Amino acid sequence: MAKPAETRTAGRKAAAKSTRSAAETEKIRAALAARHDELRAEYDQTLSEITELQRDRLTDSAGDDQADTGTKTFEREQEISLANSILERITQVERALERLDEGGYGWCERCGNPIPVERLAAFPSATLCVTCKQLAERR
């Protein structure tokens, strides 16, 4: 008879609060990983648009008047701020994944209940369950 795997419980003490099932944790991890890939692709796309705008500016700016130059600068700034906000969301997802590994992710900061997987998938940075969120908004 094979010895049952004991290594799994070794490094991981169960939290004092109620625990999430391993299957649920995996579901959250998968949702976060999918979101991470999505954001990454979006970010790459935005970066290549910035590069393109930059190239346009360098190659065909000769015939541009002041207004054209202004529009292009504006477009580029828009893209850059979009890229920054995507990067921020990527960081949030990465932090969520780290906290998930530590067991500190996905719990409502207010009532301590687990935040539903669906909610975390939609809002990886959610720190309140729907009930508490609604209560907080009502004030």
> Which residues of this chain interact with Zn ion, rule CB under 5 A?
108, 110-111, 129, 132
Contact between 38 and 61 (Cβ < 8 Å): no
Compute CA distances 88 → 39, 83, 85, 97, whole Å. 10, 9, 5, 14
Query: Residue 18: how many CA atoms within 13 Å on its side-chain side?
Result: 10
Shortest spacing between CB 110 and Zn ion, in angstroms: 5
Shortest spacing between CB 106 and Zn ion, in angstroms: 11
Shortest spacing between CB 118 and Zn ion, in angstroms: 15
Shortest spacing between CB 29 and Zn ion, in angstroms: 22
How far, in Å, CA of 48 to CA of 136, rounded?
Answer: 40
Q: Which is nearer to Zn ion, 48 or 134 (CB)?
A: 134
How far, in Å, CA of 124 to CA of 97, rounded?
Answer: 9
Q: Which is nearer to Zn ion, 28 or 53 (CB)?
A: 28
What is the DSSP secondary structure assignment for residue 86, as one 8-state letter? H
Q: Which is nearer to Zn ion, 92 or 127 (CB)?
A: 127
Q: Which is nearer to Zn ion, 13 or 139 (CB)?
A: 139
